[in-house]
């Protein structure tokens, strides 16, 4: 699976592209956590490609330091990840994601339909893509900061899933309750809540990985993509 380069108005950035064996299929934009386009994100892309999708994971930290690939296994890596997170420009990052989404749709063999899936910071960005882009569907895993952007939910017109970890150390229960109350009854939003699990329960080999919750969320995500991208 290749690393590719994507042009945007103020530069170029890298991305990992996984292709389905058939050479044809819909696209999914995979939005990274604060650890960069690392093995976990590439593995997510590879699994989606095995399911018949073109999966593209762009480097959204390229303006700060291109090519970041770290883990959650050491204090030094956490410090680096939070440094990048604090320096991240959300507006510019979303602009990059829109460029990446448009690029994905033009990849040879892509049907033109494309959704998004994001984790952690990427979960917030997937929610923003739901409010501010033309993605065909969107999935956010334990997005941090969604509770601060609920006024934008009226702009969501494509199917959107939110996976919430009930014991999320970065999304307090008050924020979770606010999200659920604000989006209750929204015709395009479905919320799944996972009891007893912490933030990043679907991060493969991560410190909070929970197989039962991760498998359940993955099945729901797969159903969303199958229903809206096939």
- Number of domains composing the chain: 1
Domain that holds residue 90: 3-229
Tell me what the mean pLDDT of segment 13-20 comes to. 98
Domain harbouring 212, CATH code: 3.40.50.1820
168 counts as catalytic: yes
Query: 114, 28 in Cβ contact below 8 A?
Result: yes
What tens digit of pLDDT does each residue of 153-188 get? 999 999 999 999 999 999 999 999 999 999 999 999
Does the pLDDT value for residue 47 go beyond 90? yes
pTM over 0.85: yes
Under 8 Å CB-to-CB from 109, ≥6 apart: which residues?
19, 20, 23, 24, 25, 54
Residue of 168, 192, 198, 215 with catalytic role? 168
What's the token pair of residue 201?
Answer: 């329960």
199 as an active site residue: the answer is yes
pLDDT in tens, 100-157: 999 999 999 999 999 999 999 999 999 999 999 999 999 999 999 999 999 999 999 9
Q: Which of 44, 103, 163, 199 is catalytic?
A: 199
């Amino acid at each position: 699976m290749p690393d590719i380069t994507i042009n945007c108005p103020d530069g170029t950035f890298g991305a990992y592209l996984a292709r389905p064996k058939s050479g044809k299929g819909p696209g999914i934009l995979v939005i990274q956590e604060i650890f960069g386009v690392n093995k976990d994100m590439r593995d997510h892309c590879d699994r989606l490609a095995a399911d018949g999708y073109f999966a593209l994971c762009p480097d959204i930290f390229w303006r700060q330091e291109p090519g970041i690939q770290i883990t959650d296994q050491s204090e030094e890596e956490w410090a680096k990840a939070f440094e990048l997170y604090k320096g991240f420009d959300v507006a510019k990052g979303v602009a990059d994601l829109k460029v990446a989404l448009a690029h994905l749709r033009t990849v040879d063999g892509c049907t033109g339909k494309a959704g998004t899936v994001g984790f952690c910071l990427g979960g917030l960005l997937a929610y923003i893509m739901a409010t501010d882009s033309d993605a065909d569907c969107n999935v956010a895993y334990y997005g941090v900061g969604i509770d601060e952007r609920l006024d934008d939910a009226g702009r969501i017109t494509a199917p959107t899933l939110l996976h919430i970890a009930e014991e999320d150390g970065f999304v307090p229960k008050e924020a979770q309750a606010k999200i659920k109350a604000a989006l209750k009854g929204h015709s395009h939003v479905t919320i799944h809540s996972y009891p007893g699990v912490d933030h990043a329960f679907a991060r493969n080999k991560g410190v909070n990985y929970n197989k039962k919750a991760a498998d359940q969320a993955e099945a729901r995500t797969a159903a969303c993509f199958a229903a809206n991208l096939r």
